[in-house]
């Protein structure tokens, strides 16, 4: 093989590498984005019922985050802020707890991810309170683009406390966001698949309406978004 042929092969390899990298960048831009900071663990699990409290609430994210004073807050079931903290140690947020009365509490955070994107969310737990049973309710969710009924959401129990929701007829990686005006930030539950149904669970700490957004990633380029409202009783 002569030198000219070697130069041609070397040049072709570089062109192929550049084209491959460009294609991967295009894919990352076209696909739904899940790359922002995400809370990956909390020492009082979402939806848990506890009889003993730790000294601190500790949240861990999947990357370094920043934030202002009061980035992490504890609210009661009426939406009143009881405690707040701005202590951030790289990817960890810490909030010191004091004495609490029996209630359902919300841990709410608002931070900035490494790419400058604001991230807000909330989880909830019950302290010395149990969840009362309730009937199953079904709600139609509308496609966010067409406005037509698209999915049916089953809510197992229509009262405050730990609840399970499910949807069927669709499968993929997904979340459900539930927003109540008392708490500002959304409760975000991840779906898992059980016997063909997508199931998620968590705590709904207060009665009233919750705006629901279901996001399901069904392919590299495809994300199905459905919305609706559910109602929770005391």
Could you give all domains of the chain from N- to C-terminal order, each with its CATH number?
Answer: 39-127 (2.60.40.1220), 136-232 (2.60.40.10)
DSSP state of 171: -
Q: What per-residue confidence (pLDDT) applies to 129? A: 93
Q: Which two tokens stand for residue 122?
A: 């909330």
- Would you state the pLDDT for residue 14? 53
> For the segment 167-200, what is each residue's pLDDT rounded down to a tens digit?
988 889 999 999 999 999 999 999 999 888 999 9
Ramachandran region, residue 147 (left: φ > 0; alpha: ψ -120 to 50; beta: rest) = left
CA 143 to chain CA centroid, nearest Å:
20
Residue 150: its pLDDT value, please?
86
Query: Which ranges of the chain have pLDDT less than 70?
Result: 1-35
| The model's pTM | 0.82
| pLDDT at residue 218, rounded to an integer | 87
Please give, one letter per residue, the 3-state secondary structure of 40-76. Answer: EEECCCCCCEECCCCCEEEEEECCCCECCCCCEEEEC
* CB contact burial 71-103 (16+ within 10 A = b; e otherwise): bbbbbbbeeeeebebeebeebebbbebeeeeeb
CB 152 within 8 A of CB 170: no
pLDDT at site 182: 96
């Amino acid at each position: 093989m002569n030198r000219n042929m070697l130069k041609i092969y070397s040049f072709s390899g570089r062109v192929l590498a550049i084209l491959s990298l460009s294609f991967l960048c295009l894919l990352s831009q076209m696909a739904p984005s899940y790359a922002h900071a995400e809370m990956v663990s909390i020492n009082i699990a979402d939806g848990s019922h506890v009889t003993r409290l730790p000294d601190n609430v500790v949240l861990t994210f999947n990357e370094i985050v920043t934030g202002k004073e009061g980035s992490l807050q504890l609210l009661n079931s009426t939406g009143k802020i009881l405690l707040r903290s701005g202590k951030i140690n790289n990817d960890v947020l810490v909030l010191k707890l004091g004495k609490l009365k029996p209630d359902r509490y919300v841990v709410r955070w608002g931070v900035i991810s490494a790419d400058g994107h604001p991230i807000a969310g909330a989880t909830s737990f019950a302290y010395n309170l149990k969840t009362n049973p309730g009937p199953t309710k079904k709600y139609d969710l509308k496609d966010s683009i067409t406005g037509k009924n698209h999915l049916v959401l089953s809510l197992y129990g229509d009262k405050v406390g730990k609840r399970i929701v499910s949807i069927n007829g669709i499968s993929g990686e997904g979340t459900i966001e539930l927003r109540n005006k008392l708490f500002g930030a959304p409760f975000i539950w991840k779906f898992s698949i059980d016997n063909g149904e997508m199931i998620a669970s968590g705590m709904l700490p207060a009665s009233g309406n919750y705006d629901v957004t279901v996001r399901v990633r069904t392919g590299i380029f495809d994300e199905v978004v459905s919305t609706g409202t559910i109602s929770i009783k005391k």
